[in-house]
Structure 1
Amino acid sequence: MATLNILWRSIKWRFQNPISILLTIIQPLIWLILYSAIAGQSMQSISRGNYTSFILPGIMVLVTLACCSSSGYINFIMKSKGSFYRILIAPIKRSSIVLGQTLEAVCISLIESAIMLVLSIFLSVHISTGFVGLIMMLPLIFITAFFMSGLCFAISLILPNEIIYETIMNLIVLSLFFASTALFPMKNISGGLKFAIMINPFTHIINSLRALILGTSIDWQNLLLVMSLFILLCFGSFALALWKLESETVK
């Protein structure tokens, strides 16, 4: 029940400040429409005639990263209002606090990804693996958001103010986005950059989402491998966030 209360409190804050939702989706939407239109003609050979379908997975991940990044502001706002410390001294499990705020970012990420999918229909995007492929995209977005939101929660407790937080998170999000296969295929990349892209976990999420959109069948073995990797990362980021929250209690 405590987790649901924290979740509802965070969601209520988000919808009381709809600009936070709007801003996280406007930039990716611009990328989806303008970049696909500009670069689409030269990239048709790798996107089976529709470059928008090719970059859509990367844009969905970008939306998720931006949404989770913005969720870290909740801690700074609660600290400025004093409610952060009131929650800490309340008889609530620390895991419920972390889980509630983490699930808020997950819910918003799923909503915004759904919006991107609906908008992509008007850009002639077709999910080749059908309804099953569409359903399997949900857990991929879920674990991506859960991992990133836990990481953002921990980072927001490490950094002293929201200005530094915004700077650091912009650097992290953009680095993860561009050091991936979001915009270009792996086969055209070599050397150290290829290694950096390969060790970027979001590369594999993007590739899995892309396979569900462009592929004719589902590679269950690879899909389960990627999901297993991110489930481990989710546990790691949650543990880190919980540890940082516990350290706030000690202060």
Structure 2
Amino acid sequence: MHATYVIWSKHMTKFWRSTEELLGLALQSVLWVVLFGVGMRGMISNVEGSDYMSYILPGIIALSALGGAVGGGIVLLDERLRGITKEYLVAPIPRLSILLGNASSTATKAMIQAAIMLVVGVLMGARLSLNPFGWIAALLLLALFAIGFSGLALAVAAISRSIMGYHGMIFLFNLPLLFASNALYPLSVLPGWMRVIVMLNPTTYLVDAVRALAFGVPATLPLLLSVAVVLLFAVLGTWLALSLFQRSVLK
């Protein structure tokens, strides 16, 4: 665990010292909520009994987890290409610690971006529920989802040979996980064939649970099922990242 903390601390220190990364993270959050959320609210006033800003904000927050995970994968790939990962491997630490350090720093950045989006969304009219325990549960689910997608991103980074190759592969996960879900529109308006795809997407369960827990939007899926799917996604993502990382270092 100490090795995981050291790697996490190293990445977060670089993050706090990078003005460009901090500014980009903050501006991306504001632009998504203000330009997309407010613009779409002008077209759709209410959906499933709630204000559209309250409905769409959990989906935008999920997007921050996806974007943050992609950035975390780039960090691991860059360290692989520059030979820094080999220095980790000769140290007497478990290989899982290397991945957990990357995944935890990525999840931390995603949580910071989610907090910024939440504040901006509330200022733009999103209405939080009155249950603070729901807010905490929603944040925990978001952290688990960020770890799961970080695992996917790190798995791709472990086998990619270039930055461009990484982006090409991660693109296959990024957009489908967001747009083939209920993040932007309710399940009831989707055609049957697309609804099947959406129900296989862990993002759907995260967004539905966060809406219900933090914003009081009526859940369309069983809450316990959503929690179980997000937890399973986090475990499988971490397992996949570890498996592919071990395979790559044995070559």
Give the alignment's TM-score, normalised by structure 2. 0.90
Counterparts of 1:176 and 1:107, CA distance in 2:
20
3-state SS of 2:89 partner? helix
Q: Distance in 2 between matches of 1:189 and 1:168?
A: 27
Give the 5 Å matches for 1:204-243: 204-215=205-216, 222-243=222-243
TM-aligned CA distance change 1:217 to 1:147, over 3 Å: same
Aligned length, in residue pairs? 250
**Contact persistence 2:208–2:219 (CA under 8 A):** no
Q: Contact 2:209 / 2:219 at 8 angstroms: preserved in 1?
A: no
Number of the residue aligned with 1:44: 45
User: CA offsets, 1:82-107, max 9 Å, x none?
Assistant: 21111112111111111111111111
Q: CA deviation at 1:25?
A: 5.0
Letter in 2 for 1:41: G
Q: 1:16 to 1:79 in 2, by over 3 A?
A: farther
* Residues 132-177 of structure 1, C-alpha deviations (whole Å, 9 max, x = no match): 2211111111110110111111110111111121233234212211
| 2:182 aligned partner | 181
Q: Which amino acid is the alignment partner of residue 112 of structure 2?
A: I
Map 1:150-165 onto structure 2 (within 5 A): 150-165=151-166
- Using structure 1 for the length normalisation, give the TM-score: 0.90
- Asked if 2 retains the 8 angstrom alpha-carbon contact of 1:129 and 1:217, the reply is no
What letter matches 2:227 in structure 1? Answer: M
Contact kept in structure 2, 1:32 and 1:55, CA below 8 Å: no
Q: 1:201 to 1:90 in 2, by over 3 A?
A: same
Is the partner of 1:128 in helix, strand or coil? coil
Matched with 2:170 is 169
State percent identity of aligned pairs: 28
Whether the 8 Å CA contact 1:21–1:67 is kept in 2: the answer is no
Mapped contact 1:127–1:214 kept (Cα < 8 A): yes
Query: Structure 2 unaligned runs (5+)?
Result: none
SS at match of 1:72: helix
Measured in 1, the distance between the counterparts of 2:181 and 2:212 equals 15
| Root-mean-square deviation (Å) | 2.2
**Secondary structure of residue in 2 paired with 1:40:** helix
Q: Which residue does the alignment assign to 1:145? A: 146
SS at match of 2:46: helix
Show the counterpart of 2:248. Answer: 248
**2:127 is matched with which residue?**
126
Query: 2:60 touches 2:183 (CA, 8 Å); kept in 1?
Result: yes
1:220-243 per-position Cα deviation (integer Å, ceiling 9, x unaligned): x93332222222222222112112
**TM superposition shift of 1:55:** 0.5
State the shift of 1:21 in Å.
Answer: 4.5
Partner secondary structure for residue 141 of structure 1: helix
Q: What is the CA–CA distance in structure 1 between the aligned matches of 2:30 and 2:182, rounded to whole Å?
A: 18
Q: What CA distance in whole angstroms lies between the structure 2 residues aligned with 1:5 and 1:213?
A: 32
Matched residues in 2 for 1:129 and 1:217: separation?
Answer: 14
1:43-88 Cα distance to aligned partner (Å, 9 max, x none)? 2231646321111000000001000111011122213432111111
Q: Per-residue deviation at 1:41?
A: 3.3
What's 1:78 paired with? 79
CA distance in 2, matches of 1:83, 1:49: 49
The equivalent of 1:190 in structure 2 is 191
Aligned residue for 2:105?
Answer: 104
Shift of 1:24: 4.6
Q: Report the AA paired with residue 32 of structure 1.
A: V
Are the equivalent residues in 2 in contact too, given 1:153–1:241 (CA < 8 A)? yes
Unaligned 5+ residue runs, structure 1?
A: none
CA–CA distance in structure 2, aligned partners of residues 241 and 49 of structure 1: 38
